[in-house]
């Protein structure tokens, strides 16, 4: 073997939520793993971990208890990816992730294992499963309709505290909003910059001073999600102590600070655990040799070949480039696997972007057997040790069902446990 | 409210009439049920015809186009990009039509110059290799939004009152005269009466429906045309297929993009007009015969308009129906102060306005000459932000650190949004994300409104332009308006972008769950 060949048990293609979760689970189990993928999509995550909130989507039926929601879903849509995983296994998967994140200082919270209502930057309410502790007070304040002050910053685009208070005002009195200058800044501001500068204690002192005139009778203070990149807990309790009131973060549009926090925590962990990562790279070709091993060629001029016993395809949908839409057909980009899809492009999308029943194309993707292995037209797996996980899977509409993170984490967990090494 | 003349319809013709009458010192009110160019004027190619397209089948229209095109280039050069045009034939095209073309042009007084093939490929390298004949003509590209906004702005500064989102609901007719018109504000639902000495129906494709309210009958034919916008500009000039007018045979440059179209499909309904997947695929395969690049290039948007055609006789092919206009005095049918102007083309809008205004003046006994042939159209700020590339130029030149970009694709800063918002408020228009979109490049870049929509809504709340849950409705309406034009083009990168849009606006914001539409 040449120097440019890497041997491993498992190759994971994709570095979004599902790929990174699979890498995490595999590294926890001591499986020698290589991960390849563009490492951007996790920073697009809001930081909220959805499990299951809406089904049937066309009637916008919201489940307080995601677990009974999953039962109903599996009953009505028997080929939804959740139906291939026992609920206990989904719970185990979340527990393993949550306890790891806790060690890194990112705490996740739910109340009685139920869905929680979270305020978004658009002034809407999102139903989600696990909430970063930094956002939790928002759920409490919303539930109690407590007097609340919403803060935003001059020069921070796409976040208006006035928008949030106006949108929520019909059933939540006593809301205030204030736009302030972030200390020492003028002109354009970005969440990530603000989060990094709040790591410095003197910035927090200045920030609190500029907020004090707006407090009045508020019982909670809300901010866009900018409360630090690493020391979120310390920063928030420092500010709470200085103001004397509980505070919380509101999820923002991407790229989002809570998403970047997740990405940093996971990436650090998997590297520490010995996973070889090739981020900002892609696999351009995969063959299988006679012994059943996968020979994958890394692109971008590196000429590195990765030989693996098993392969997990976590390449995402169109945004992740796992699927590619041509004018007449949707294709899977790495293996050319068959893609479940509507018959023609005229059927891909509804005329109303916000049609609650969703677009038919959202259900398209890779079909698998019970072990999450892609199947051919005879319902047989192509390879014993090729698995597909996350949003590339068919028969789910994660944006409308609000099941994106759950789908990624649960299928990653199941696939890693189904490996035959 | 009272005025000498009430004009119904805020397209190129309606705004053109309001300018023409205002310049003659006549006091007008212009009502529009939506906003500027909501019909055919906003859904066309943006082509100022040299006339060459019509020399074969409609010589009269050809001469009119030539004459009017010259006037518009002179009086409103800021609305025009004087690109010139080529007529090109490819192998297999009708040789008789090609052979007759130069003579037909000269019969109509339409200049057309033979171009050697070698020179043609130098002028426009994207032409198909099997091109067999090329003629150069005087086509140009016109910004139809800027054109109507500038007409309106000039009329407004000469006393015309513009009422957008105001729909004519009924006519009070006494003794064969319209005494008043009942109009409804489409936003507040409030009704009021407008009294006028004379009423002009310039409702374009809705002219038949409006006339029916007054008990008049006009035989309208509705012909839907769809067009595609390429992500970048493909040619310097307008490129026409040198053949009998047909589908997808014109490519018009517009600033940084090119527009290929159209189709011609009879439609009964005027609502829910949108381009379909079938039309898109057809336009691409037809257009690619002339410019093969069209088969591979990325498209950012499709849109549709409906042509108002007036039926004088039955014809199977709508392309055969005249593109001339119809000025109908309803006096014969029993209403003395009511005229309809419809049909026609964007290129002849000024002539339509002139003829209508002459007619109205004659009926009112006013003898004031038409000024729009010679008086230049002022270059104002109300239409300026529709120009591709202007916002970034201005921003780079004048940017201060506080003037941040709300739309990064088209580089539109806060200050441009401020100026658009105050011009809408100044014209007592309805302020919405869509009305900002009509007046600017907002939502027209590669992200198709994913980020800028949310940012501008937030900014509008900060300015106090939105209250309560209006922002949710604004986002839904704006994104759905963009969606009409994205939906049939979702393959390759646009599909990637639409997935991101759905992840943000549905996955995170849950806008599909907000039922207050």
Task: Nearest by CB to B495, from A167, A325, A400: name it.
Answer: A325
Q: Which of A120, A159, A325 sits opposite B508 (nearest CB)?
A: A120
- pLDDT mean across residues, chain A: 95
What are the two backbone dihedrals, phi and then psi, of residue B234, each rounded to the nearest 5 degrees?
-100, -35
Torsion angle of alpha carbons A90, A283, B491, B283, nearest 10°?
A: -160
> According to the model, what pLDDT value does residue A39 have?
73
CB contact under 8 A, A354 and B467: no
Residue B15 CA, distance from chain mean position: 12
Q: Which of B406, B451, B470 sits opposite A253 (nearest CB)?
A: B451
pLDDT, tens digit, 9 for 90 and up, residues A99-157: 999 999 999 999 999 999 999 999 999 999 999 999 999 999 999 999 999 999 999 99
What residues contact A336, with CB distance under 8 A and at least 6 apart?
none
Q: Which of B274, B278, B499 sits opposite A319 (nearest CB)?
A: B499
Q: Which two tokens stand for residue B405?
A: 């970009």
Segment B50-58 mean pLDDT? 94
> What's residue B64's pLDDT?
94
- List the single residue in A with minimal CA-CA distance to B402: A187
Q: Which residues of chain B have a CB within 8 Å of the CB of A362?
A: 502
A61: three-class secondary structure by DSSP? coil
The interaxial angle of helices A66-76 and A87-103, nearest 10 deg, is 140
Q: Contact at 8 Å (CB) between B406 and B452?
A: yes
Q: What is the pLDDT of residue A244?
A: 97
Mean pLDDT throughout B120-136?
97
Average pLDDT over residues B462-484: 95
Instruction: Return the CA Rg of chain A.
Output: 22
Average pLDDT over residues A152-170: 96
The better pLDDT of the pair B379, A414 is held by A414
Measured between CA atoms, the residue of chain B closest to residue A344 is: B277
User: B495: which chain A residues are within 8 Å (Cβ-Cβ)?
Assistant: 318, 325
User: Tens of pLDDT along A329-344?
Assistant: 999 999 999 999 999 9
Residue A48: CB atoms within 10 Å: 26
Q: How far is B166 from chain A (nearest CA, A)?
A: 25
CA pair distance B398, B411, nearest whole angstrom = 13
- Decide if A35 contacts A23 (C-beta within 8 A): yes
pLDDT at B517 over 50: no
Query: Are the Cβ atoms of B401 and A186 closer than 8 angstroms?
Result: yes
Which residues in B lie closer than 8 A to residue A324 (C-beta atoms)? 492
B132-151 core/surface letters (b: 16 or more CB in 10 A; e: else)? ebbbbbbbbbbbbbbbbbbb
- Interface predicted TM-score of the whole assembly (ipTM), two decimals: 0.97
Angle ∠(B469,B473,B477) on CA atoms, nearest 5: 165
Hey, is the C-beta of A356 within 8 angstroms of any chain B C-beta?
yes
The H or E element containing residue B485 is: helix B470-486
| Cis previous bond, A352, omega within 30 | no
Percent of chain B exceeding pLDDT 90 equals: 78
Q: Per-residue confidence at B411, pLDDT binned at 50, 70, 90?
A: confident
Contacts of B402 in chain A (CB under 8 A): 154-155, 186-187
Looking at B37-137, list the stretches that DSSP marks H as alpha helix, in order from N- to C-terminal side.
59-75, 95-108, 117-123
Q: What pLDDT score was predicted for residue B323?
A: 61
Beta-carbon separation of B277 and A253 below 8 A = no
**Ramachandran region, residue A392 (left: φ > 0; alpha: ψ -120 to 50; beta: rest):** alpha
Look at residue B485 in the predicted model and tell me its pLDDT: 92
Among chain A residues, the shortest Cα distance to B514 is held by A124
Q: Measuring CA to CA, how many Å separate A125 from each of A55, A104, A250, B255, B508? A: 17, 28, 11, 41, 9
Mapped onto helix, strand or coil, the DSSP state of residue B249 is coil
What is the share, in percent, of chain B residues with pLDDT greater than 70? 93
* Model pLDDT, residue B516: 56
H/E element holding B38?
Answer: none
Asked if residue B128 lies in contact with residue B241, where contact means CB atoms within 8 angstroms, the answer is no
For chains A and B, count residue pairs whose Cβ atoms are closer than 8 Å. Answer: 158
Q: Which helix (H) or strand (E) holds B207?
A: helix B207-213
* Chain A nearest C-alpha distance from B510 (Å): 6
Cα distance between residue A320 and residue B166, in whole Å = 46
The mean pLDDT value for A239-264 works out to: 96
pLDDT band, residue A304 (cuts 50/70/90) = very high
B191: its two tokens: 């009704």
Q: How far apart are CA B464 and CA B454, in angstroms?
A: 15
Cα→Cα distances B15→B142, B153, B362, Å: 16, 9, 20
Tell me what the pLDDT averaged over chain B comes to. Answer: 92
Q: Do B468 and A404 touch (CB under 8 A)?
A: no
User: What CA–CA distance (Å, rounded) separates B423 from B419?
Assistant: 6
Q: Which two tokens stand for residue B265?
A: 């499909």
How many CA atoms lie within 13 Å of B362's alpha carbon, on the beta-carbon side? 10
Residue of B nearest to A57 (CA): B513
**Using the beta-carbon criterion (under 8 Å), do A122 and B404 form an inter-chain contact?**
no
Question: In angstroms, what separates the C-alpha of A128 from chain B's closest C-alpha?
Answer: 10
- What is the average pLDDT across B389-416? 77
Is A319 in the B-facing interface, judged by CB distances under 8 Å? yes
Which of helix, strand or coil describes residue A180? strand
> What does pTM read for this prediction?
0.87
On chain A, the residues whose CB falls within 8 A of the CB of B511 are: 122, 124, 354
Q: How far is A208 from chain B (nearest CA, A)?
A: 22
A166: which chain B residues are within 8 Å (Cβ-Cβ)? 461, 466-471
CB contact under 8 A, A122 and B274: no
User: Å from B484 to nearest chain A CA?
Assistant: 7
Structure tokens at B342: 């419809």
Which residues of chain B make contact with A352, given a CB cutoff of 8 A?
480, 483
DSSP codes of every residue in A12-43: EE--SHHHHHHHHHHHHTT--EEEEE---GGG
**Mean of pLDDT values over A279-286:** 91
Q: Which chain B residues are Cβ-neighbours of A404 within 8 angstroms?
A: 503, 507
- Answer yes or no: is pLDDT of A249 > 60: yes
Closest to B511 (Cβ–Cβ): which among A124, A251, A402?
Answer: A124
Which chain B residues touch A254 with a CB distance below 8 Å? Answer: 504
Q: Mean pLDDT, to the nearest integer, of A88-109?
A: 97
Nearest to A16 by CA among A343, A382, A346, A279: A279
Q: Is the pLDDT of residue A1 over 60?
A: no
Given B278, B454, B510, which is nearest A126 (Cβ)?
Answer: B510
Distance from CA of A399 to the nearest CA of B (A): 4
Each residue's pLDDT tens digit, B297-317? 999 889 999 999 887 654 555
Q: How far apart are the first and last CA of chain B?
A: 32
Rounded Cα distance between B147 and B253, Å, is: 16
Residue B321 has pLDDT above 70, yes or no: no
DSSP B27-68: -EEEE-SSSTT-SGGGSS--EE--SGGGTTT-HHHHHHHHHH
- Joined together, the tokens standing for residue A158 give 């796409």
Contact call for residues A297 and A344 (beta carbons, < 8 A): no
Q: Do A123 and B483 touch (CB under 8 A)?
A: no
**Residues B274-297: tens digit of each pLDDT:** 999 999 999 999 999 999 999 999
């Amino acid at each position: 073997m040449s120097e440019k060949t890497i041997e491993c048990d498992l190759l994971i293609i994709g570095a979004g939520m599902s790929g990174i979760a699979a890498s995490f689970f595999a590294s926890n189990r001591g499986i020698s793993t290589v991960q390849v993928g563009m490492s951007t999509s996790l920073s697009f995550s809001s930081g909220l971990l959805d499990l299951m909130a809406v089904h049937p989507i066309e009637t916008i039926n919201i489940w307080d208890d995601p677990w009974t929601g999953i039962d109903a879903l599996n009953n009505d849509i028997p080929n939804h990816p959740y139906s291939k995983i026992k609920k206990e296994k989904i719970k185990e998967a979340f527990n393993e992730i949550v306890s790891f994140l806790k060690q890194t200082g990112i705490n996740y919270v739910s109340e009685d294992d139920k869905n929680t209502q979270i305020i978004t930057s658009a002034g809407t309410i999102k139903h989600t499963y696990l909430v970063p502790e930094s956002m939790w007070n928002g759920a409490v304040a919303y539930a109690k309709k407590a007097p609340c002050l919403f803060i935003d910053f001059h020069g921070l685009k796409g976040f208006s505290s006035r928008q949030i208070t106006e949108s929520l005002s019909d059933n939540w009195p006593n809301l205030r909003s204030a736009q302030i200058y972030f200390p020492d800044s003028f002109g354009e501001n970005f969440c990530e910059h603000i989060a990094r500068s709040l790591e410095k204690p003197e910035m927090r002192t200045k920030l609190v001073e500029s907020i004090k005139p707006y407090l009045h009778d508020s019982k909670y203070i809300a901010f866009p999600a900018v409360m630090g990149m690493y020391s979120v807990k310390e920063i928030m309790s420092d500010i709470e102590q200085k103001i004397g009131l509980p505070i919380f973060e509101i999820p923002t549009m991407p790229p989002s600070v809570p998403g970047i926090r997740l990405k940093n925590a996971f990436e650090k962990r998997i590297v520490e655990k010995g996973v070889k990562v090739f981020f900002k790279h892609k696999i351009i070709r995969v063959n299988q040799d006679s012994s059943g091993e996968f020979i994958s060629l890394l692109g971008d001029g590196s000429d590195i070949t990765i030989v693996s016993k098993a392969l997990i395809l976590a390449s995402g949908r169109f945004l992740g480039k796992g699927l590619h839409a041509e004018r007449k057909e949707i294709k899977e980009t790495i293996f050319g696997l068959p893609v479940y899809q509507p018959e023609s492009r005229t059927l891909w999308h509804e005329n109303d972007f916000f049609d609650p029943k969703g677009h038919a194309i959202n259900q398209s993707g890779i079909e698998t057997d019970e072990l999450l292995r892609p199947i051919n037209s005879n319902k047989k797996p192509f390879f014993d040790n090729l698995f597909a996980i996350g949003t590339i899977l068919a028969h789910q509409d994660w944006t409308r069902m609000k099941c994106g993170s759950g789908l990624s984490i649960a299928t990653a967990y199941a696939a890693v446990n189904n490996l035959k090494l | 409210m009272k005025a000498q003349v009430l004009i119904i319809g805020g397209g190129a013709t309606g705004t053109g009439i309001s300018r023409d009458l205002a310049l003659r010192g006549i006091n007008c009110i212009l009502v529009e049920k939506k906003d500027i160019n909501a019909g055919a004027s906003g859904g066309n190619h943006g082509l100022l015809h040299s006339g060459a397209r019509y020399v074969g089948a409609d010589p009269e229209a050809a001469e009119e186009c030539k004459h009017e095109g010259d006037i518009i280039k002179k009086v409103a050069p800021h609305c025009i990009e004087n690109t010139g045009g080529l007529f090109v034939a490819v192998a297999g095209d009708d040789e008789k039509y090609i052979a007759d073309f130069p003579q037909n042009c000269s019969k109509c007084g339409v200049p057309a110059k033979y171009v050697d093939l070698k020179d043609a490929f130098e002028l426009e390298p994207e032409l198909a290799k099997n091109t067999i004949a090329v003629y150069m003509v005087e086509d140009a590209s016109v910004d139809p939004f800027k054109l109507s906004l500038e007409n309106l702005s000039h009329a407004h500064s000469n006393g015309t009152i513009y009422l957008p989102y105001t729909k004519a609901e009924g006519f009070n007719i006494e003794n064969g005269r319209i005494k008043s018109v009942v109009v409804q504000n489409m936003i507040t639902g409030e009704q009021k009466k407008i009294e006028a000495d004379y009423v002009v129906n310039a409702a374009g494709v809705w002219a038949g429906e409006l006339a029916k309210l007054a008990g008049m009958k006009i035989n309208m034919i509705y012909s839907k045309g769809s067009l595609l916008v390429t992500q970048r500009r493909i040619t310097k000039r307008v490129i026409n297929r040198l053949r009998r007018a047909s589908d997808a045979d014109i490519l018009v440059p517009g600033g940084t993009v090119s527009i290929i179209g159209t189709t011609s499909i009879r439609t009964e309904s005027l609502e829910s007009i949108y381009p379909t997947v079938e039309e898109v695929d057809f336009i691409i395969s037809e257009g690619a015969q002339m410019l093969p690049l069209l088969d591979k290039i990325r498209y950012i948007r499709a849109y549709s308009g409906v042509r108002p055609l007036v039926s004088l006789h039955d014809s199977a092919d709508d392309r055969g129906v005249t593109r001339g206009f119809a000025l109908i005095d309803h006096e014969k049918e029993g209403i003395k102060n009511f005229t309809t102007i419809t049909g026609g083309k964007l290129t002849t809008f000024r002539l339509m306005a002139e003829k209508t205004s002459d007619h109205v003046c004659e009926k009112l006994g006013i003898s004031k000459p038409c000024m729009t042939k010679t008086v230049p159209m002022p270059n104002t700020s109300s239409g300026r932000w529709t120009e591709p590339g202007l916002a970034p130029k201005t921003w780079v030149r004048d940017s201060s650190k506080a003037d941040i970009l709300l739309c990064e694709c088209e580089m539109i800063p806060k200050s441009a949004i401020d100026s658009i918002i105050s011009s809408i408020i100044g014209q007592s228009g309805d302020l919405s994300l869509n009305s900002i979109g009509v007046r600017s490049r907002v939502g027209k870049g590669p992200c198709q409104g994913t980020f800028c929509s949310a940012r501008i809504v937030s900014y509008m709340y900060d300015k106090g332009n939105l209250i309560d849950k209006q922002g949710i409705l604004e986002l839904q309406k704006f994104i759905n308006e963009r969606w009409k034009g994205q939906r049939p083009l979702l393959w390759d990168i646009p599909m990637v972008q639409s997935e991101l849009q759905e992840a943000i606006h549905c996955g995170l914001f849950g806008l599909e769950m907000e039922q207050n539409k």
